[in-house]
Amino acid sequence: MHLDHSHDESTAVSADAHRPDGHRRALRIGLGGPVGSGKTATVAALCKELREELSLAVVTNDIYTREDAEFLLREAVLPPERITAVETGACPHTAIRDDISANLEAVEDLEDEIGPLDLILVESGGDNLTATFSKGLVDAQIFVIDVAGGDDIPRKGGPGVTTADLLVVNKTDLAPYVGSDLEGMAADAKAQRAELPVIFQSLRSDVGVGPVAAWARAQYAAWAASA
Amino acid sequence: MSQAALLVLADGRFPAGGHAHSGGAEEAVKAGRVTGAADLEEFCRGRLHTTGLVSAALAAAAALGLDPLELDEAADARTPSAALRVAGRRLGRQMMRAARSAWPDPSLDQLAAARPKGAHQPVVLGLAARAAGLGARDAAYCSAYECVSGPATATVRLLSLDPFDATGVLARLAPELDLVVREAAEAAQRAVADGVDELPAASAPLLEVGAEAHAGWPARLFAS
Ligand SMILES: Nc1nc2c(ncn2[C@@H]2O[C@H](COP(=O)(O)OP(=O)(O)OP(=O)(O)O)[C@@H](O)[C@H]2O)c(=O)[nH]1
Ligand SMILES: [Mg+2]
């Protein structure tokens, strides 16, 4: 019995930064948040924005099996072999936090089958405000809410809003129609998150996913530099 | 050896992927064969005496130190449905990951290297039990219990079944679990002397057929 881990056994160590062959694994970024807030749309936009400069793959965690993966396939944001759906037994938050084994297998298989990857985006099907990703699965996480889901969500907080590495408040184009107070949301988010970043986004605008893509680029640069 | 290791291994929260599988319950619910606690009990009883017995015997045999690759083949031969073979190997791979973290042992490393995409789950479970210092009966208990607790938990989600009723089903099945475990452990002992053909090969055709249908559904909550 040997209870200490070394790199050559890294398949048993989920957060290890190296693959069994000694190469550095891909950076893994999780996207969580309430149902319909725009996670898949953000993933799709990020893929289109970053696919020329980074080798990308996506893992989806759906409630009903393959919805999100099929959307991404239809939109052809990446070749099909770069998109994997994990089945979650109706509980995405279990698969991204409490029992991450299926997700770890999905990311490992992607790296085995496609070769070295730079960035893997892991989407969790819309669940609830307490759903966060395990540190054993992702290196950083984005929590996506939208202005139409109620402008009191930043005030209510919860682990996603308060601790995610990036909070995205999506669908700002809809704010005038649903009477959401964007300044109030910004102030509440600031109060909950202190120095952690918040990006207000509308995928229907010209700016689109640009600022979130810039954040992801910076995460990747930091990850690559720490090798 | 710690007897309490059995509790760690048998814990429904052991992170080895079981939560995403219904053990055939999702298909049985959709087909109208399981509509409440009484049906669930019959479903679990049938599963316990067929798949459950076979899995428990495989786990016990692995815990006794029989060649895991030979047991893996024996598991294949006892699982007619291709969909269930895939599910069993996927769960085995997930069990392997959790077991290697919990009880690092060369025997697990060897099987992981020989079957990188997963050996059958009961075989890995038995080897994990052995690495944890547990015995054949312990491994059989884990496997047999999981074979009924999985569908019971899934049915709570699928039918919004009263969780106290589901737990009652499991409690009522406990004496039968003891019998199945004894039978499985005895078969595993015989297999040590006379080879893996001594292991039971009971099968539940409806579970196998249902699993094939379920795998083809476009939308489902559980992986199997
Ligand atoms: N107006 C507007 N609609 C958006 C925006 N972003 C996404 N949507 C729309 O919102 C709807 C839901 O978006 P999805 O990306 O599927 O949401 P999701 O968070 O992935 O949803 P689940 O995976 O079901 O939890 C879709 O119809 C999108 O087109 C936006 O910035 N503005
Ligand atoms: Mg989605």
In a domain, residue B72? The reply is yes
Between vectors from CA A223 to CA A29 and to CA B99, what angle results, nearest 5°?
60
A43 Cα to the center of ligand 2, angstroms: 9
In a domain, residue B224? The reply is no
CATH number assigned to the domain comprising residue A196: 3.40.50.300
Query: Based on the structure, what is the number of domains in chain B?
Result: 1
Nearest to A95 among B20, B100, B131 (CB): B20
Q: What percent of chain A has pLDDT over 90?
A: 68
**B65 is in which domain, residue-wise?**
5-10+23-213
Nearest to B16 among A13, A90, A101 (CB): A101
In a domain, residue B220? The reply is no
In a domain, residue B103? The reply is yes
In a domain, residue A178? The reply is yes
Condensed to tens digits (0 to 9), the pLDDT of residues B156-211 reads 999 999 999 999 999 999 999 999 999 999 999 999 999 999 999 999 999 999 99
Query: Based on the structure, what is the number of domains in chain A?
Result: 1
ipTM computed for the complex: 0.84
Q: Which residue does chain A place closest to B112, by CA atoms? A: A11
Give the residue, out of A170, A201, A212, with the most ligand 1 atoms within 8 A of its beta carbon, to mutate for a pocket test: A170
What backbone phi and psi angles, to 5 degrees, belong to B60? -65, -40
Is the alpha carbon torsion for A149, A155, A158, A160 positive or negative? positive
> Do A3 and B21 lie within an 8 Å CB cutoff?
no
**A145 is in which domain, residue-wise?**
27-225
Q: What percent of chain B has pLDDT over 90?
A: 96
DSSP letter string, B106-134: HHHHHHHHH-TT---HHHHHHHHHHHTT-
In a domain, residue A206? The reply is yes
In a domain, residue A160? The reply is yes
In a domain, residue B117? The reply is yes
In a domain, residue B16? The reply is no
In a domain, residue B64? The reply is yes
Q: Cα dist. B145→A161, B48, B168 in Å?
A: 39, 8, 14
CATH number assigned to the domain comprising residue B141: 1.10.4190.10
What backbone phi and psi angles, to 5 degrees, belong to B27? -65, -40
Condensed to tens digits (0 to 9), the pLDDT of residues A42-95 reads 999 999 999 999 999 999 998 765 678 888 999 999 999 999 999 888 788 889
Q: Flag residues of chain A having pLDDT under 50.
A: 1-13
